[in-house]
Structure 1
């Protein structure tokens, strides 16, 4: 019994650390996004282009960590606790996937190339729409975290 308790803490404690790192990456992403979205002098094409490239790096890293690390762990936890979390994940995941496609399309628009002021203007229009998509994504992810991990935290602690 003690061994099962230790295993549960070790197993799901790691998920908490993974989620914490992921949410820190989200914060970095949001800081970069806010700095860019507040920009109004689009004549500084080289500097803004570099900032957009950095934003895209953060976006792709964040989305990748979600899909290939965090969601996998949350889904495994839902399977192990078998309390309806799998069904919720199956319902939310396609909506999250739609936001991933928007992120990847934005990344493709930037694609690390030198941008003209006119291209930047278009990207900044897209940036506004990206912000709305990210807000939606974060709500969905928070719902997953709340229902697939935080709901089990007490069970892991008491185990």
Structure 2
């Protein structure tokens, strides 16, 4: 996922402040995910579970990321596509419901883990993180399709 992010940053970085901010937030989310999951290069030497606070911090970052997409970035992308052609607008409108599926997965994860009070729930974390990662990877691919539409067909300045 980080490699795909780096490609996205190389392809679209610097073309728009909002997109740069969004890709930066995606990077922060992915790093926090890798740290929480104990994946390289953030492996946990002692193989312990993350703390409840670490999980809650990740949940907050996750909700911030999906919210930013829905309430800030997508609206701007769709508006730009709307101004520059029906084909782009229609494509963007087809992608948004697909992206919403991953939003539901992210919010379900948040609901389960943002209010945990004990470590018992953390024993389910590995499986839930794996499911979340699959959903978010699909989301990132769909979001990148939106960015590609914007980049290849339109010039958007911020």
> Shorter-chain TM-score category?
0.7 to 0.9
Tell me the equivalent position of 1:29. 29
2:66 to 63, 66, 76: 63
Q: Structure 1: any 5+ residue segments left out of the alignment?
A: 1-14
Q: Which has the larger radius of gyration?
A: 1
Structure 1 stretches of 4+ with a deviation exceeding 2 A read 148-151
Q: CA deviation at 1:93?
A: 0.8
- Report the TM-score, using the length of structure 1 for normalisation: 0.79
- Report the TM-score, using the length of structure 2 for normalisation: 0.80
Q: How does 1:1-159 map to 2 (within 5 A)?
A: 16-38=16-38, 39=44, 40-42=47-49, 48-116=51-119, 118-153=120-155
Q: CA deviation at 1:123?
A: 2.2
Cα distance in 2 for residues equivalent to 1:48 and 1:149: 40
More helix by share: 1
Give the root-mean-square deviation of aligned CA atoms.
Answer: 2.0
Contact map agreement 2:55 2:114 (CA 8 A) in 1: no
The aligned length equals 137
